[in-house]
Amino acid sequence: MTITPRSNRDAALTAFLGKKAEIDTMLARLAALSDDHFNASPDAVNWGHVGTLEHYASLLRQITDSAFGEGEHAR
């Protein structure tokens, strides 16, 4: 079976759309969790919660820096 440039592009597009859907699902879940204050009750928030959110923010910063060419990914 010969892979044509067209079928290769179609396969890449299908894979791309699958990964985009995966990211969209993760972002929606994160937004819902954020809307619920990351499951933290205001009366129970402590420095551990702050540390957890700092960790999440750090990981998301790596992604946004890469996506937008900022931070260590600045062009």
User: What does pLDDT average to over the chain?
Assistant: 95
Contacts of 52 (CB under 8 A, 6+ apart): 38
The predicted-structure confidence for 42-69, as pLDDT tens digits, reads as follows 999 999 999 999 999 999 999 999 999 9
Q: Are residues 31 and 52 in the same domain?
A: no
Both structure tokens of 30: 């994160």
Same domain, 47 and 67: yes
The domain in which residue 56 lies consists of 41-75
* CA dist 16 → 11, 25, 63, 69 (Å): 9, 14, 17, 20
- Claim to verify: residue 55 and residue 30 sit in the same structural domain: no
25 and 50 in a single domain? The answer is no
Query: Measured in whole angstroms, how far is the alpha carbon of residue 35 from the centre of its chain?
Result: 16
Whether residues 4 and 31 fall in one domain = yes
pLDDT the model gives residue 2: 77
pTM for the full predicted model: 0.83
Question: What is the total count of domains within the chain?
Answer: 2
Domain shared by 7 and 29, yes or no: yes
pLDDT of amino acid 1:
67
